[in-house]
Amino acid sequence: MPVIRSLSRVAKQALLSSPTCGCQPLAIAVRNISFSPRQVTSDASFHSVSFSETDHPKVLITGGLGQLGVGLAKLLRKRYGKNNVILSDIRKPPSNVFHSGPFIYSDILDYKNLREIVVNNRITWLVHYSALLSAVGEANVALARSVNITGLHNILDIAAEHGLRLFVPSTIGAFGPTSPRNPTPDLCVQRPRTIYGVSKVHAELMGEYYHHRYGLDFRCLRYPGIISADSMPGGGTTDYAVQIFHDAIKSGKFECNLRPDTRLPMMYIDDCLRATLEVMEAPADTLSMRTYNINAMSFTPEELAQELQKQMPELEVTYDVDPVRQAIADSWPMNFDDSNARNDWGWKHDYDLPELVQTMLNFFATERRMAQIN
Ligand SMILES: NC(=O)c1ccc[n+]([C@@H]2O[C@H](COP(=O)([O-])OP(=O)(O)OC[C@H]3O[C@@H](n4cnc5c(N)ncnc54)[C@H](O)[C@@H]3O)[C@@H](O)[C@H]2O)c1
Ligand SMILES: C[C@@H](O)[C@H](N)C(=O)O
């Protein structure tokens, strides 16, 4: 951990030279590492500022081949230029992704490799998407601990060492059965019962600590379950809300692994990615916190099925509850209070349940038409 090592060296020197108090070394230490994460002007905002060729951020996305990374890269490339956004992962990219912009191999557990990428590509913003999600995490706790916690430590140190603006997503899964669940505010008891949730609370706290201690420009949104049409989820508890569309279109039948009355906060992917861009561009002085809930809608499997059945009355939904996923869902928020995000930096969702269902069905209808033409 080079940052920590150099900090403690500087702090020791400062302690020796400071006869009076324990505060001095920290101030000296912080000044001795160069944090200058502002690559955009401090009053930059998504709606009002367009970036010139020279002040574009240079973005690295880790874990970019999952449900969210490719879509985020597309959005950021449109805004900052194709070559200013590098997608990375440990998996082999499909050809359309490989040819759509820069892709690089990056294992977040390899600190040296990460540093090389950041240095060689003059990265200024880091979006850290690598993670094992809730259900997969419970199936492999050791790996989840390593990727979600050790990996995060590498990311924090790289970001601090190189003055990067760092985005790390958190989740509704960072809350637990003792949190208020309806609604769940930003600040309340967080005692999650999954390794995923524990690692995300750890990420929130470590990011905020690095912000206060070292000035790291850490930004974090707690995403609800994300629903997308052209990318598949990576093993979470909310995956049913994506799978139902695929199965409905393929076979007209869907077997749900959660109880019909399981209410969870959800969001369409376009809202999620836009929120990410907006919080990254938000002027620092609008952020009264560094970790925000964001929300769009809350629904149960039964309500989602009913909305789909308005357009596909023949859809049959049955239930075969997975006890692991059900226990996780029962400990998560039912409704998410995102009023701080709305007040501080103007968060506003575009998609409620009817628009979500319509948009998903339109996507698959277009895809089917294209397949028939080709
Ligand atoms: N999708 C959601 O509903 C949702 C909701 C809340 C929060 N999030 C968070 O958003 C982020 C992205 O989510 P997602 O749905 O795209 O996840 P995903 O599971 O689909 O993708 C995660 C990616 O991380 C990669 N990865 C695993 N180990 C790695 C390693 N050692 N080095 C580098 N990459 C590695 C995987 O190959 C995978 O492509 C995650 O941090 C997740 O916790 C997602
Ligand atoms: C909610 C989110 O973190 C993820 N989709 C999961 O279910 O694990």
Give the orientation angle of helix 353-373 with respect to helix 301-311, to 10 degrees. 50
**Ligand 2 center to 145 CA (angstroms):** 16
Q: Does residue 103 lie in a domain region?
A: no
pLDDT of residue 374: 79
Pocket, ligand 1, Cβ cutoff 6 A: 62-63, 65-69, 89-91, 106-109, 129-131, 133, 147, 151, 169, 171, 223, 225-226, 233-234, 236, 238
Atom of ligand 1 nearest to the CA of 106: 33
Residues β-bridged to residue 292: 221
Cβ–Cβ under 8 Å, residues 278 and 236: no
**Ligand 2 center to 2 CA (angstroms):** 32
Nearest of 234, 231, 241 to residue 356 by alpha carbon: 241
The β-bridge relationship of strands 297-299 and 264-268 is antiparallel
Atom of ligand 1 nearest to the CA of 130: 24
Task: Indicate if ligand 2 lies below 6 Å from the C-beta of 225.
Answer: yes
pLDDT of residue 30: 33
Cβ–Cβ under 8 Å, residues 59 and 122: no
Instruction: Kindly report the number of other CB atoms within 10 A of residue 353's CB atom.
Output: 18
Low-confidence spans in the chain with pLDDT less than 50: 1-50, 53
Q: Which residue's alpha carbon is at the smallest distance from atom 17 of ligand 1?
A: 66
pLDDT of residue 6: 43
Task: Indicate if ligand 2 lies below 6 Å from the C-beta of 71.
Answer: no
Q: Does residue 115 lie in a domain region?
A: no
Q: Which residues does 68 contact at the CB level (< 8 Å), separation at least 6?
A: 129, 169, 226, 228, 231, 269, 272, 273
Nearest of 18, 22, 117 to residue 62 by alpha carbon: 117
**Ligand 2 center to 66 CA (angstroms):** 12
Task: Indicate if ligand 2 lies below 6 Å from the C-beta of 134.
Answer: yes
**Ligand 2 center to 234 CA (angstroms):** 9
Q: Does residue 315 lie in a domain region?
A: yes
3-state secondary structure of 211: helix
Task: Indicate if ligand 2 lies below 6 Å from the C-beta of 194.
Answer: no
Substitution candidate for ligand 1 out of 60, 130, 199, 220 with most atoms within 8 A of CB? 130
Question: What percent of the chain is helix, strand and coil (3-state, nearest 5)?
Answer: 50, 15, 40
**Ligand 1 center to 150 CA (angstroms):** 15
The total number of structural domains that make up the chain: 1
Phi, psi (deg, nearest 5) at residue 265: -70, 140
pLDDT of residue 54: 58
Cis peptide before 93 (omega within 30 of 0): no
The structure tokens listed for 120 are 């060689």
Q: Which amino acid is at 208?
A: E
pLDDT of residue 28: 29
CATH number at residue 182: 3.40.50.720
Q: Which residue has the tokens 């970001």?
A: 159
Nearest of 7, 21, 113, 135 to residue 60 by alpha carbon: 113
Task: Indicate if ligand 2 lies below 6 Å from the C-beta of 130.
Answer: no
Q: Does residue 152 lie in a domain region?
A: yes
Q: Which residue has the tokens 């501080």?
A: 344
pLDDT of residue 368: 87
**Ligand 2 center to 260 CA (angstroms):** 18
pLDDT per residue as tens digits for the range 277-331: 999 999 999 999 999 999 999 999 999 999 999 999 999 999 999 999 999 999 9
Find the domain containing 156 and state its range.
131-373
ipTM comes to 0.99
Q: Does residue 37 lie in a domain region?
A: no
Q: Does residue 279 lie in a domain region?
A: yes
3-state secondary structure of 374: coil
Phi, psi (deg, nearest 5) at residue 224: -75, -170
Q: Does residue 242 lie in a domain region?
A: yes
Q: Which amino acid is at 358?
A: Q
Q: Please measure the distance between the N-terminal and C-terminal CA atoms of the chain and give it in whole angstroms.
A: 53
Q: Does residue 261 lie in a domain region?
A: yes
Residues carrying an active site annotation: 196
